[in-house]
Amino acid sequence: MDLRLLRSFRAVVDAGTVNAAASYLHISQPALSRQLQQLERQVSVRLFERERGRLMLTAAGRAFLSAADDVLAAAENARSLADALAAGRLERIRMAAPTTTLTDVIAPFLATLDVSDPLITVREATYSQALSALRSERDLAVITAPPPRQFASVTVASLPVWAYVSPSHRLAAETSITLTDLAREPLVLLHDHFRARTLVDERLASAGLSPLDVIECDHPQVAQALAASGRGVAVLSDDPRFDLVPLRILIDGGADLQLTLHAAWNRQHHAATQLASVAERLALFCQQRYKTI
């Protein structure tokens, strides 16, 4: 259907007369009348009736107006999208991130943006799910391991993996714990699709250590709640909750066990420059919030 005819139809509805609508559209009154007649022929219904010198919508016209507005709105959205594509920018950025990153990093970052920034929507995803989403419907992913080389990426932050103990725990006065001492404690660990879990498993295995007792959890806050209730030492990268005391986990040479976040996007993405800028802003936010890289 001709968008020009729909715009003319809407203009007449708003103005109430052909003369006023023609003036608004900068066309002659006879030309506008012909457009209305053409539209009525196309839809095979009468759209207007004259009442006291004004054009009023018929029942069919009122029903058609809603559909016409939908078409015009969709056309405007398509035009805006085309302009954005041509300019290499996005009005909406679709992101993927794991649970802890979403809660402790992405959500606080989003709270610092304003309405002049693109709208960022986030879907929870594991590492493999995030990479798969980058190949289809997601624009940007924040992940806990480097992406394959086919993706562009920047390092967003290096964050500590903590050993959390309750304030009443005998280690609560300490600031750190070695892998050897950690293995002697009952541990509250997340399942192995969480990067913090795989990191501590790898470090314990490389040191020839095996934890004596493990409680596994699906959710970081549940792990922290169990640690707060005295069930064990929770190992995760989340920000502290329930008044837990964080201990640094010491690995080779006294370095801290850390988890590195990476922002990744498709190199061929039409808005790759904009996505890189968002990733850099996220990295700066993390540096200021966590005093990291």
Q: What are the pLDDT digits (tens) for 152-202?
A: 999 999 999 999 999 999 999 999 999 999 999 999 999 988 899 999 999
Q: 199-220 as b/e, with b when 16 or more CB fall inside 10 Å?
A: bbeebbeeeeeebeeeeebeeb
Per the structure, the count of domains in the chain is 3
Shared-domain flag, residues 73 and 109: no
Sequence-ordered strand ranges (E) for the chain = 48-51, 54-57, 92-97, 119-124, 140-143, 151-160, 162-165, 176-178, 186-190, 213-217, 233-236, 245-250, 258-266
Amino acid code (one letter) for 138? R
Percent share of the chain, pLDDT over 90: 59
Whether residues 269 and 151 share a domain: the answer is: yes
Instruction: Report helix angle 29-43 to 18-25, nearest 10.
Output: 110
Using the 3D structure, point to which of 32, 61, 87 is the last residue of a domain: 87
What CATH code is carried by the domain that includes residue 285? 3.40.190.10
- Residues 101 and 135 grouped into a single domain: yes
Q: Among all chains, which residue has been given the structure tokens 């539209």? A: 39
- The residue among 67, 87, 107 that closes a domain is 87
pLDDT values of the chain reduced to their tens digit, one per residue, 293 residues? 788 899 898 888 888 888 888 988 889 989 999 999 999 999 999 998 888 778 889 999 999 998 988 888 787 767 766 666 665 668 899 999 998 899 989 999 999 999 999 999 999 998 888 998 888 788 999 999 999 998 999 999 999 999 999 999 999 999 999 999 999 999 999 998 889 999 999 999 999 999 989 999 989 999 999 999 999 999 999 889 999 999 999 997 788 999 999 999 999 888 899 999 999 999 999 998 887 55
- Give the span between the Cα atoms of 246 and 231, in whole angstroms: 16
User: Of all residues in the chain, what percent carry a pLDDT higher than 70?
Assistant: 96
Q: Both 168 and 286 in a single domain?
A: no
Residues 145 and 206 in one domain: no
Q: What is the pLDDT of residues 256-288, one digit of tens each?
A: 999 999 999 999 888 899 999 999 999 999 998
- The residue range of the domain holding 43 is 3-87
- DSSP-assigned beta bridge partners for residue 189: 216, 235
- The answer on 204 and 81 residing in a single domain is no
Alpha carbons 258 and 196: distance in angstroms, whole number: 8
229 plus 245 within the same structural domain: yes
Q: What residues contact residue 131 under an 8 Å CB cut-off, 6+ apart? A: 141, 143, 147, 148, 151, 264
| Statement to judge: residues 32 and 142 lie in one domain | no
Given this model, what pLDDT does residue 16 score?
84
Comparing CA positions, the residue from 137, 135, 150, 128 lying closest to residue 93 is: 137
> Which one of 47, 68, 87 terminates a domain?
87
Closest to 292 measured CA to CA, from 96, 104, 98: 104
- The answer to whether residues 154 and 282 belong to one domain is yes
The residue written with tokens 């809407």 in the block is 10
Residues 166 and 252 in one domain: yes
On whether both 279 and 241 belong to a single domain, the answer is no
Whether 28 and 67 share a structural domain: yes
